[in-house]
Amino acid sequence: MAKYSRLHGSVGLISLANPPVNALSSVVRHAISEKVAKAFRDPEVTCVVICGENGVFCGGADIREFASTMRGPPLVPMIDAIEEGEKPVVAAIEGVAFGGGLELALGCHYRIAHYKARVGLPEVTLGLLPAAGGTQRLPRLTGVAPALQLITTGRHVAAPEALKLGIVDQVTEQNTVEVAVQFAKSVVGQALHNRRLSLRQLSCPPDGLFEETMAQIKQRARGAVAPIACVQAVKAAATLPFKAGMDKERDLMATLFNSGQAKALQYSFFAQRSVAKWNLPNGAHSGISKARAVHRAAVIGLGTMGRGIVVSLVRAGISVIAMETNEKQLHTGKKMVIAILEKDAQKHNAAPRADLVHFTERLSDLSNVDLVIEAVYEDMVLKKDIFKQLSMICKPDAFLCTNTSALNVDELAAVTGRPEMVVGMHFFAPAHVMKLLEVVYGQHSSPEAVATAMQLGKRLGKVSVAVGNCPGFVGNRMMKLYVEQAHFLLEEGATPEQVDEALEEFGFAMGIFKVSDLSGLDVGWRVRKEAGLTGAGVDWKEPPRRRQGRRYSPLADLLCEKGHLGQKTSRGWYLYEKPGGRDPKPDQGLHSFLVEYRSKYGLKARRIDKDEVLERCLFSLINEGFCILDDGIASGPEDVDVIYVHGYGWPRHRGGPMFYADMVGLSKVLERLEFYHQAHPDVPYLKPSPLLRKLVRNGSPPIREWREFLKRPHSHL
Ligand SMILES: CCCCCCCC/C=C\C=C\CC(=O)SCCNC(=O)CCNC(=O)[C@H](O)C(C)(C)COP(=O)(O)OP(=O)(O)OC[C@H]1O[C@@H](n2cnc3c(N)ncnc32)[C@H](O)[C@@H]1OP(=O)(O)O
């Protein structure tokens, strides 16, 4: 709703009141239209101020309404009516003015913002464009180039920048509504013609701006269509009269509104928020579990992961003890951490925060920290030794976390005298850049430990997802099968380029073989050795290309044995011009190696099309996602999807693997898995998961209903 009051006798004040973000639901739109008309009608009222209750102007259209038939007064005529009014209307912007909220403000004649407020048109991130005049009014206010940048990226702009761009007329540190009221009174009687953005002429955009932007977007968008529509809409603003531009904006919105991409992106928006409301099988949940404050933390191990974690902690203002026993690694790690922090400081024009880090070689220095994150490499014996020592050294109420990406958190907890204080905090490389954090709860992890790790993740700016303990947790457990399928495809006739091309066309930023070269083939090699799949632990009595009773491809092991570890050695699945090179080129040597390999094992190469690449790689991953849901390792499909979008480069406009399965159709996924399982009976994970079968038996309900089909979590309490 919206409230109406009269201030100082002559100012009509309209307050949007729809907590928590004053979204423009149909009720709110109705109320605004009514209150504006009332203020315009009232002869005593000479000016109007529109604001939002509770320190938020408006978070935009109510996204939840997009899923059903839109009812209530549309935004466009409402905003037009405000602009056309004969009384000055001032928007008092506190908190945020996003999307339809900013479009509403652009329809007002003036905008006053609190200095902490942010404005923006983030519709593109929801698969839409600003269709209440935003694409036509913003360019008339800021000029075409800045508007194009803001609308195609959805970037949030802080008030001081908004002032520079001309989006707001004044920024204040005082009470914004009071300032806006005084301002409104001061402009009564002034001509409004120039303040109506729809009447403004646009100056010519720089030559080639649209072509260049379109080319960049097509390269970057990975198949997302909304950014392209945004360029077209802004181009209409620059080339057509206002009314015709509005028609174009509406038509483009009509094509986006019901698209699968818009649905996926809106699902992603809510999924990201839903994972913050975690719950554990033992009944504990975010609503009742209190986090403890972390003032001092420690990180053990200053390899790539450890360094990134230290930087993340410091950026959040947490003092850190960074511990590393290897002198050379300590020196390098220290140099790199300080370099990143100095770069941060330069960027933000602030003092470096390196004083928050204390580097040490001694574990005993960790006696007084609130929380430790162990980030040494994946060696259970080494990790157990560290956890045993930590258990004795750290104060009794310190949380002990491991950054393992796959190892058993319970096994580590068991060597400590405080298993309830142990959780996994699985960061993704580079940890100071990647958004995802898997918080892994063990059998004995206390709700307080989980809450503290989740809260810490939030403080570090991560999207944190609570997951259960199993080999690889959620992300890597699914990833393993995806990688394995890609290797099998090479055995059967594909090249790394073909597989990667299909995955990149699907929307992944990088194909799986390029990713493998980037992170280093030795990473997976170490994991496979640890799992007894290669190296000393192998049972050589098994037939070749079979391990532990199932199909196995030793291709990656063979490359590692040759020293072809990816970018760092200039050869892996691709060829690079020098060690550390970034630009992958097809490697004829690798192709010949594949030919020899196939001939050695009597494998006949066949033509593999893109559909098969996608189905084999993605459906096996999705099938494992269903198993994970069935096992209660993830509490809902949103958790799996958020992990894949934020940690594994899954294209956001495809929602995530589980959402994608829903879009493709569960019966099709089931049918193709059955087909591939029949063709490859020695690959057990291609056998469709019982949960997938159950869902199909029950008529393939939409993803929002899947939780009803999951087993009830059992209580350990
Ligand atoms: C055939 C064609 C027909 C076309 C007709 C359509 C015509 C449409 C015309 C105009 C369209 C305009 C489009 C829009 O305006 S789209 C919305 C654009 N706005 C956004 O993208 C902003 C989204 N929100 C945020 O960025 C943040 O939520 C923020 C406002 C910054 C607040 O952040 P924070 O304080 O961290 O809080 P949360 O993010 O956790 O949010 C709190 C709860 O509020 C819910 N929420 C937030 N924004 C919206 C929204 N716009 N609509 C509905 N709900 C919203 C959010 O989900 C949280 O709730 P919960 O925890 O229950 O999920």
Question: Considering only CA atoms, which residue is closest to atom 42 of ligand 1?
Answer: 20
Enter the pTM of the model: 0.95
Question: Is residue 484 assigned to a domain?
Answer: no
Per-position b or e across 47-69, b if 16+ CB within 10 A of its CB: bbbbbbbeebbbbbbbbebbeee
What one-letter code names the amino acid at 137? Answer: R
Q: Is the pLDDT of residue 623 over 90?
A: yes
C-alpha 496/C-alpha 566 separation (Å) is 13
Question: Considering only CA atoms, which residue is closest to atom 46 of ligand 1?
Answer: 21
Question: Is residue 379 assigned to a domain?
Answer: yes
C-alpha 242/C-alpha 138 separation (Å) is 12
Catalytic residue among 34, 44, 65, 123: 123
Of 600, 625, 656, the position where a domain reaches its end is 600
378 is known as an active-site residue: no
DSSP letter string, 336-377: HHHHHHHHHHHHHTS---GGGEEEES-GGGGTT-SEEEE---
Sorting pLDDT into bands at 50, 70 and 90, what band is 423? Answer: very high
236 and 164 in one domain?
A: yes
Q: Is the CB of 60 under 6 A from ligand 1?
A: yes
Share of the chain above pLDDT 70, in %: 99
Q: How far is the CA of 123 from the centre of ligand 1 (A)?
A: 9
Q: How far is the CA of 60 from the centre of ligand 1 (A)?
A: 6
* Chain mean pLDDT for the chain: 96
Closest approach atom of ligand 1 to CA 122: 21
Question: Is residue 275 assigned to a domain?
Answer: no
pLDDT one-digit tens code per residue, 532-547: 899 887 888 888 899 9
Sign of CA dihedral 37, 39, 42, 48: negative
Q: Is the CB of 132 under 6 A from ligand 1?
A: yes
Alpha helix segments (H runs only) across 85-203: 100-107, 134-142, 144-153, 159-165, 176-187
Catalytic residue among 103, 374, 438, 492: 103
| CATH number of the domain that residue 578 is part of | 1.10.1040.10
Closest approach atom of ligand 1 to CA 258: 1
Q: Is the CB of 76 under 6 A from ligand 1?
A: no
Interval 672-699 mean pLDDT = 97
The per-residue pLDDT for 713 is 53
The per-residue pLDDT for 588 is 97
Q: Is the CB of 96 under 6 A from ligand 1?
A: yes
Which of 24, 62, 63 most suits a substitution to test ligand 1, by most atoms within 8 Å of the C-beta? 63
Specify the DSSP class assigned to residue 585.
B
Question: Is residue 285 assigned to a domain?
Answer: no
The per-residue pLDDT for 714 is 46
Q: Is the CB of 131 under 6 A from ligand 1?
A: yes
622 and 548 in one domain?
A: no
DSSP letter string, 420-450: GGEEEEEE-SSTTT--EEEEEE-SS--HHHH
pLDDT one-digit tens code per residue, 633-676: 999 999 999 999 999 999 999 999 999 999 999 999 999 999 99
Closest approach atom of ligand 1 to CA 70: 5
Question: Is residue 236 assigned to a domain?
Answer: yes
Question: Is residue 481 assigned to a domain?
Answer: no
**β-strand 357-360 against 371-374: which pairing, if any?**
unpaired
pLDDT one-digit tens code per residue, 219-246: 999 999 999 999 999 999 999 999 999 9
Of 257, 274, 309, the position where a domain reaches its end is 257
Burial label for 399, CB within 10 Å (0-12, 13-18, 19+), is buried
164 and 62 in one domain?
A: yes
What is the phi-psi region of residue 127: left when phi exceeds 0, alpha when psi lies from -120 to 50, beta otherwise?
Answer: left
Q: How far is the CA of 23 from the centre of ligand 1 (A)?
A: 6
Q: Is the CB of 324 under 6 A from ligand 1?
A: no
430 and 327 in one domain?
A: yes
**Angle formed by the axes of helices 475-492 and 637-647, nearest 10°:** 70
> Which residues 6+ apart lie within 8 Å of 307 measured at CB?
333, 336, 337, 340, 431, 432
Of 210, 236, 257, the position where a domain reaches its end is 257
| CATH number of the domain that residue 168 is part of | 3.90.226.10
- The answer to whether 424 touches 402, Cβ cutoff 8 Å, is yes
- Terminal alpha carbon distance of the chain: 43
The per-residue pLDDT for 389 is 97
586 and 630 in one domain?
A: no
Closest approach atom of ligand 1 to CA 99: 15
The closest of 99, 100, 105, 138 to 122, measured between CA atoms, is 99
The per-residue pLDDT for 531 is 85
DSSP letter string, 191-203: --GGG-GGGPPPP
Question: Considering only CA atoms, which residue is closest to atom 1 of ligand 1?
Answer: 254
Helix (H) or strand (E) holding 320: strand 319-323
Q: Is the pLDDT of residue 715 over 70?
A: no
Interval 185-209 mean pLDDT = 94
199 and 172 in one domain?
A: yes
55 and 143 in one domain?
A: yes
Tokens of residue 43, six digits? 């002869």
Residue 700: HSE in the Cβ half-sphere, 13 Å Cα cutoff:
13
236 and 380 in one domain?
A: no
Share of the chain above pLDDT 90, in %: 91
C-alpha 313/C-alpha 615 separation (Å) is 40
Burial label for 325, CB within 10 Å (0-12, 13-18, 19+), is middle
381 and 307 in one domain?
A: yes
569 and 619 in one domain?
A: no
Angle (CA) 635 624 545, round 5°: 150
C-alpha 709/C-alpha 120 separation (Å) is 39
C-alpha 192/C-alpha 407 separation (Å) is 67
Question: What total of structural domains would you count in the chain?
Answer: 4
Q: Is the pLDDT of residue 716 over 70?
A: no
Q: How far is the CA of 256 from the centre of ligand 1 (A)?
A: 17
Q: Is the CB of 119 under 6 A from ligand 1?
A: no
618 and 572 in one domain?
A: no
| CATH number of the domain that residue 350 is part of | 3.40.50.720
- The answer to whether 690 touches 698, Cβ cutoff 8 Å, is no
Angstrom distances, CA of residue 271 to CA of 61, 66, 261, 451, 652? 18, 16, 15, 19, 11
Tokens of residue 377, six digits? 């490499």
Interval 151-157 mean pLDDT = 98
Q: How far is the CA of 140 from the centre of ligand 1 (A)?
A: 25
Residue 423, phi then psi, degrees to nearest 5:
-140, 160
536 and 434 in one domain?
A: no
Peptide bond connecting 496 to the previous residue in cis, omega within 30 degrees of 0: no
The per-residue pLDDT for 228 is 97
Long-range (24+ apart) CB contacts under 8 A made by 524-531 are: 524/483, 524/556, 525/556, 525/557, 525/560, 526/377, 526/378, 527/378, 527/406, 528/556, 528/557, 530/378, 530/379, 530/380
Tokens of residue 180, six digits? 């806006």
Question: Is residue 585 assigned to a domain?
Answer: yes
Q: Is the CB of 75 under 6 A from ligand 1?
A: yes
- The answer to whether 574 touches 511, Cβ cutoff 8 Å, is no
Helix (H) or strand (E) holding 91: strand 89-93
Greater confidence, 713 or 710? Answer: 710
Q: Is the CB of 254 under 6 A from ligand 1?
A: yes
103 is known as an active-site residue: yes
Q: Is the CB of 57 under 6 A from ligand 1?
A: no
Three-state SS string across 617-634, please? HHHHHHHHHHHHHHHCCC
Burial label for 552, CB within 10 Å (0-12, 13-18, 19+), is buried
> Which residues 6+ apart lie within 8 Å of 51 measured at CB?
13, 14, 15, 16, 57, 91, 92, 93, 94, 176, 177, 180
Closest approach atom of ligand 1 to CA 74: 7
The per-residue pLDDT for 712 is 60
Closest approach atom of ligand 1 to CA 100: 15
In which domain, by residue range, is 246 found?
Answer: 2-257
Question: Is residue 356 assigned to a domain?
Answer: yes
Q: Is the CB of 79 under 6 A from ligand 1?
A: no
Q: Is the CB of 61 under 6 A from ligand 1?
A: yes
